[in-house]
A and B are shown apart, each in its own frame.
Chain A
């Protein structure tokens, strides 16, 4: 089962590090990462494998929101994007 993690906000040091550390703690495997910085605006999208995750999607989202400060974070099941954007 895969999920998409998005992290959006003001660019600072260590966003990628703190996000991936939390994911590792939850036993979530990162499959792919894309990130871009436009002016000061940071946007990162991760495709992660949550089959072995210790946390549910909802808990994972809460955990990331608490531990990666000042960023807007979403964790959503991959299916929702696939169904919306692929025929």
Chain B
């Protein structure tokens, strides 16, 4: 029979340590919905999403009941909409509204894919979609948007970076009476993964199958609790080992749920994303893991090293536990979604420059960072460029999800509610990068040898 302490451990993880499946995300290709008439295109999209994802929420709930494990979110990602805009022309916001309506009908809480992939340049539909993002995000409830502006193979499209600085600012401005929520649903990527199940950056890449189930696991609280039980004098190898074992267990559960969902829905199982995804809830924080490893507060010297070790150990443990790992897979460091990060930002221990360094060793990027409302579009563009450069040179995904808090200064706070959390406005270096940003063009792809 199963070991008593193993059983109690699992129950404790779920009960006390916030272990959950963060998301089951159904990826749906909309390529076969493209029509030269935008209204027909929208009609086909609505029909396809409702047909394939009609049972998604119910299946998720059934699995929750069967296994007694919470599945927090059920979501959908779709083909980058810019591709459909390229075929149909017309107002891209029509697509956003269609996605929103479909999301509402099937009962998911986010739908991602109001996206464009422009790392090397713009094709038909891309610019139109990018320009329409602020309006699309303000006029819909569930739609998330992302734009990939760079990659290790293509370099960074600085024309797109320039546009996105302005688009972020506008997205915030147009939703300023709603805590600037628009910008919180918009991600700018470098090396965007095509199978990421996590919002706001999820989209269903053109290389993916017609329909697929991807699963995102979570569990920062479980890792922290495992480390808490360790002795303060245990060396870091032991710490890494404990993280690895815990990540293994968490991922196994994700694998089980993913397989079960794929079977129940009759849709192939795609990937597990091994990310440690925090929530603002107490005991569900990545920052607290770093503090448990031995930092007084997140942001202290040593934060980058601790995070690098955490991120690597999570991957090593998770890879063994699942047959297909993908997505972002690592530790997330969103500021407003992590109680420890919020505390660090409030106290001034955690600053944007430190976060930028942390993004070089963890899974994503500058995530859910609130900056002063008067930050210029050029500064926002330059922050995107810096982050994209880190991703491009290190062959990893980086992203920027930054929210200019219109009307607020540093120290004041925004509150998005729910999983998106809350947080203080962080200080930004306001020296102007305008000349560089206005040059436009492309930053060439980096050399892949002479690595120093």
Contact = CB atoms under 8 A, between A and B. Distances in A.
A57 B65 contact: yes
A85 B65 CA distance: 20
B65 A34 contact: no
Contact of B7 (A61, A81, A83): A81
Contacts of B6: 81, 84-85
B1 A80 contact: no
A60 B355 CA distance: 47
B2 A85 contact: yes
Contacts of B69: 76, 80
A2 B69 CA distance: 16
B4 A83 contact: no
Contact of A45 (B4, B68, B249, B256): B4
A63 to B, nearest CB: 14
A43 B8 contact: yes
Nearest to B256: A83
A84 B67 contact: no
Interface size band for A = 20 to 34
B1 A84 contact: no
B66 A45 contact: no
Contacts, number: 66
Contact of B253 (A47, A75, A80): A80
B269 to A, nearest CB: 14
B429 interface: no
Nearest to A78: B2
A6 interface: yes
B66 A34 contact: no
A56 interface: yes
A68 interface: no
Nearest to A58: B65
Tell me which of A8, A43, A57, A80 has the highest count of chain B C-beta atoms within 10 A of its own C-beta: A80
A39 interface: no
Contact of B2 (A4, A56, A57, A74): A4
A52 B2 CA distance: 22
A10 interface: no
A80 B249 contact: no
Contact of A80 (B4, B65, B67): B67
A56 B252 CA distance: 24
B1 A74 contact: no
B73 to A, nearest CB: 19
Q: Which of A34, A57, A85 has the most CB of B within 10 A?
A: A85
A70 to B, nearest CB: 17
A57 B66 CA distance: 6
Given A4-B2, A34-B1, A85-B249, A79 B67 contact: yes
B282 interface: no
B233 interface: no
A83 B6 CA distance: 11
Interface in B19-56: none
B431 to A, nearest CB: 51
B8 A6 contact: yes
Contact of A6 (B11, B66, B67, B256): B11
A34 to B, nearest CB: 6
B10 interface: yes
B397 interface: no
21 contacts: A4-B2, A6-B11, A34-B4, A47-B1, A56-B66, A57-B68, A74-B11, A76-B11, A76-B68, A77-B66, A78-B2, A79-B256, A80-B10, A80-B67, A80-B253, A80-B256, A81-B2, A81-B6, A83-B255, A85-B10, A85-B249
